[in-house]
Structure 1
Amino acid sequence: MTDKKRLFENFSALAIMQMLNYILPFVTLPYLVRVLGMEGYGTFIFSQAFILYFIIIVDFGFELSATREVSLNRDNPNKLSEIVSAVLGVKIILAVGSLIVLLLLLATVPQLREYWAFHLLSFGMVIGNMLFSLFFYQGIEKMKFITIFSASAKIFFTVSIFIFVKDTSQLLLVPIFNSLGYLVVGVVSLFVMITKFKVRIRFPKKDTLVLQAKNSAQFFWSRIAVSMYTTSNTVIIGLVLGPVAAGIFGSADKLFRGVVSLYQPLNNILYPYIAYSKNIKLYKKVFKFATIINIFIVVVAFVVSDIVVQVIFGSGFEESALLLRIFLITTVFLMPSILLGYPLLGAMGYTGEVNKSVIIASVFHIVILLISIPFLSVIHVTLYVLITELIVFLYRLYYVKKFKLLSE
C-alpha cells in the first residue's frame, strides 16, 4: 500500500469518527438541556470537564510517546508486547491513584460534594479510556478500529439517553450510560488487540514501567498544561460562578471544540507518519489545504453562530453565541498551531519546543485567570483563551522558522 493511500484510508476513518463525535453530541445536548434544565445540564458539562483531569492523568501522555514507539517498532511483536504491557501497567497504577484522589475531593470540597454520585459514576470513563489503547492503534496506523470503537461508545450513549432519560429525577442515568459506553469499548478494544494483533499482555518489569513513565513525562506535563487553558476554564467557572454559568460557557466551548476536532484526524495520522517517513513535501501540501478549509469553515460558522446556538440550546443561551464568535476567531490560528505542533515539530524531534509552548501559555493563562477571579465573567475567560492560543501559535511558528522545517 502506498503512503498516500494509507494516509487517505486513515484520514477517512478518523474523519468519520470526528463527524460522529461532532454530530452525536449535538443530537443529545439539545435534548439534555431541555430535559435536565440549565442547572442539570451545567452539572453534566462541569462533571465532564472535571473527570477529564483524571483521564489526562491516566493517559499520562502515552498517546504521544507510546504512539511513536509503537510506530517505530510495529514489525517487532515482542517489543510491541513489552511496550503495551508497560503502558497498561502504568495506567492501572495511575487509575487507582486517581480514584483515591477523587474520593478525597468529593469528601472535602463542598461544590463537588453536592453532586458526588454524578462525579463518581462518571469515573467509569477514566477506566474505559485506560483500557482503550489508542496509542497502539495510532502507532500501527489502523485508524478504522479507533473509529469503530469510539463511534460505538458515542452511539450507545446517544441511544440510551433518548430511551431512558426523561426528566431531572433521572440525572444519574447520564453518567451511568456514558461510563458504560466507554467501559464496553475499552474491554472490546483490548480483546481485539490481543486476539487479532497478537499482542501478549504480561506482567511488566519494574524498570520497564519506570522507563515508559519517564519517556512519557514530558508529554504528560504538556497535556496538563493544555488542560490548564482548556478544561480548567469550565471547572473554574463552575466552582466560582455556578453550574448555570458553566453551562453557558461550556455550550460555546463544546461548539468551538467541535470545530477544532474536525482537524484532529490530520493531527493523529500526520504525527506517526511524519515521525516515520519525514515526508515534509507532503506535509506542506496538507498544511496549506487545511488552512484554506479552516478559514472557510470559520467564516461560515461566524455568520450562522446565533442561529446555531438558538437551535441547539434554546432560550437562555444567547450569551453563548457571543462567546462562540470569539472562539471562532481563535480557531483561525489554532488550527495551524495544532499542525505545527506534534505533527511537525514533535515528529521531527523537537518535542521540547512543542511542550514548552503550551507550558508557557498555560502559566500565563492560569495567572491571569486567578487574578481576575474577583470580577470573573465568561467573556473574560473566552478572551483569555484567545490570547493564550495566540501565544502557543507564535511560539511554535518561531521555532519552525528557526529550524527551517518547511524549507524543503
Structure 2
Amino acid sequence: MDASTLKRLSGNAGALLAIQLANALLPLVLAPYLTRVLGRDGYGAFAFGAALIQFAAIITDYGFGISAVYQISRARGHRERIRRIAGAVLLVKLALFALVSVAVIGYVMTTDHVPGGSVYIILLLISILGLTLQPVWLFQALEKMASVTIYIVASRLAFVLLVLLFCRSADDLPLVAVLNGTGYLFAALAGLYVMRGRGLAPRWPGLKRTRVIAGASTEYFWSRIAVVSYGAGATIFLGVFGTASQVAIFSVAEQFYRGAIAIYSPVTQAIYPYMARSRDIALFRKIFVGAFFVAVLGVAFGIICGPMLISMIFGEGYQESYPVLVVFLLALLAAIPSILLGYPFLGALGQAKVANRSVFLAGFVQVLALGAIYFLGVGSALTVVIAVLLAESSALIWRARAAYPYLKA
C-alpha cells in the first residue's frame, strides 16, 4: 500500500471516527445531565426513544450503508452512474420512511403504555427523517468523508449544548426530541447541498433500475434487522414488556458498550471499500490483532473501574447497572472481532452471504433468548444483556469458522 493510499484511508477513517464520536460519545457526555434532570424513568424513556430511532434508521437505511458503498466505490469515475445509484437509494429510503411513520403513529394510537408519552414518540420522526436523508454512504464510498463530517459533528455539538441550556426537568423530554431531530435534519440538508455542489445530485434511474439497486441491498437489510434485534431491539423489548426504570439501568451500562463499538466502527467502515478493491489480507491481520488487543485492555479497565465510572458519570442511583456492564464488556470481546471479520473482511472477499447468515443466526438466538425471558417472567436488564452476550458469541463463532481459511493462507 503506497503513501497516498494510506493517507486517503486514514483520512476517511478519521472523518468517520469524528462522526461516530459525535453520534455515540456526545450522548454519553450528555447522559450524566439527563440522568439527573429527567430522573430514572425519564431517562429510561429517552433511552427507549433513542432505540426506536436506531431501529427505524436501520429500516430506512435498507442496507444501503453497505451495498450502496460497494456499488458506488466500484463506479468511481462514472458520474452519471453514481447519480442514478444515489437517486434510487434516496427514493427507496423515503418510501421506507413513510412506512415507518405509519407504524410509529399506529403504535402510539393503539398502546396505553408508551414510555415518555405519545407526543414524545411522534416527535422522534424528525430524527428518523434526518437520518434517512443523510448521504453518508455516498461520501464514504468516494472516500471524501471530510466533505460532510463538519456538518454532522457541528449538529451533534449543537444538540448537546441546546439540551444543556434549555432542558431543566422531565417535562422537557419532548423538547429533547425536537432538538435532536433538528440537528439530524440540518446535517442531512447540508450533506445533500454538498452532494449537489459536487455535481452528484440524485437522478431518477427508472423503476427497473431502482428495483435492481434495492434488490442488491435486500440481504444486507435483513442482516441489519437481525443486528438491531440484539442491539436496539433489547432496549425496545425492555421498554415494551418491562419498565422505564429497567430500561434506564440497561441503557447506562449500554452507553459504555456502544461507545466502545463507536470507536471501532470508523476502522471497519474505512477499510471496507479499500478491502473491496485491494483484498490486502496482510494489512487486515495487523488491524485485527491490534484492535483486539486494545479491546482486551479496555474490558479489563471497565471491569476494575466500572462502579466508580457509573457513579461519577451517571450519579449514585444507577449502581444496579454494574452487573449489566460486566456482561456487556464480555459481549464486547465477542463483538469487536466479529465486526472486523464481517463485512470489512468476509464481505470484501465476496463472502457477504456468510457474514449475513451469521447475523441471522445471532438474531435468531436473541429472539429465542428474549422469548424465553418473556415466557419465564424473568425480564430484567441483567437477563436481557445475557441474551445479547449469547447473540454476539454465536455471530463470532460463525464468522471465525468462515474466515479462518483466508487468514491462515
TM-score, length of structure 2 as denominator length: 0.96
After superposing the two structures, state which structure 1 stretch, 111-120 or 300-309, moved more.
111-120
1:153 matches 2:155: yes
Measured in 2, the distance between the counterparts of 1:147 and 1:302 equals: 33
Q: Structure 1's 130 and 21: CA in aligned 2 closer, same or farther, altered over 3 A?
A: closer
Matches of 1:242 and 1:5, distance apart in 2: 48
In the TM superposition, 1:371-386 aligns within 5 A as 371-373=372-374, 374-386=377-389
Superposed, 1:380-399 pairs within 5 Å as 380-399=383-402
Distance (Å, rounded) in 2 between the aligned partners of 1:113 and 1:107 = 13
1:9-408 pair list within 5 angstroms: 9-112=11-114, 115-195=117-197, 197-373=198-374, 374-401=377-404, 404-408=405-409
**Conserved 8 A contact 1:106-1:113:** no
CA deviation after TM superposition for structure 1 residue 78, in Å: 0.7
Q: 1:113 to 1:270 in 2, by over 3 A?
A: closer
Q: How many angstroms does 1:245 deviate by?
A: 0.7
Matched residue of 2:407: which SS?
Answer: coil
The letter of the residue matching 1:386 is L
Is the Cα–Cα contact under 8 Å of residues 156 and 183 in structure 2 kept in the other structure? Answer: yes
Question: Does structure 2 retain, via aligned residues, the 8 Å contact 1:337–1:392?
Answer: yes
Q: Helix, strand or coil for the counterpart of 1:6?
A: helix
**TM-score, normalising length from structure 1?**
0.96
Q: What amino acid maps onto 1:314 in structure 2?
A: G
Distance in 1 (alpha carbons) for counterparts of 2:261 and 2:186: 27
SS in 2 for 1:69: helix
The CA distance in 1 between the partners of 2:178 and 2:84, in whole Å, is 33
Residues of 1 paired with 2:304 and 2:148: CA distance?
Answer: 33
C-alpha displacement of 1:51: 2.6
Using the alignment, how far apart are the partners of 2:373 and 2:399 within structure 1? 27
Percent sequence identity over matched residues?
A: 32
Contact 1:330 1:390 in 2 (8 A): yes
In 2, the alpha carbon distance for the partners of 1:227 and 1:200 equals: 31
Equivalenced residue count is: 405
Q: Which whole-Å deviations, capped at 9, do the CAs of 1:33-65 have from their partners, x for residues lacking one?
A: 111111111111011112322111110000000
8 A Cα contact 1:305 1:321, kept in partner: yes
Q: Deviations over 1:345-385 (max 9, x none)?
A: 00111111101001011111111211221122211111111
Q: Give the counterpart letter for 1:170 in structure 2.
A: D
337-346 vs 139-148, which deviates more? 139-148
Shift of 1:171: 1.9
What does the per-residue CA deviation read over 1:105-145, in whole Å, with 9 as the maximum and x for residues that have no partner? 11112223861111111111111111111110110011223
The structure-2 alpha-carbon separation of the partners of 1:113 and 1:30, relative to structure 1 and needing over 3 Å to count, comes to closer
What is the deviation of 1:169?
2.4
Q: How much has 1:265 moved relative to structure 2?
A: 0.8
Q: Which segments of 5 or more consecutive residues in structure 1 lack a partner in the other structure?
A: none
Quote how far apart the aligned CAs of 1:32 are: 0.9
Partner SS, residue 320 of structure 2: helix
Bigger Cα displacement from structure 2, 321-330 vs 1-10? 1-10
Structure 1 letter corresponding to 2:310: V
The alignment partner of 1:349 has SS state of coil
Of 249-258 and 173-182, deviating more is 249-258
Matched letter for residue 119 of structure 1: I
SS in 2 for 1:201: coil
Which runs of no fewer than 5 residues in structure 2 stay unpaired? none
Range moving further from structure 2, 302-311 or 215-224: 302-311
The one-letter amino acid of 1:406's match is L
1:394 corresponds to which letter in structure 2? I
Deviation of the 1:214 alpha carbon: 0.6
**Change over 3 Å in CA distance of 1:308–1:388 after alignment to 2:** same
Change (3 A) 1:114 1:46: closer
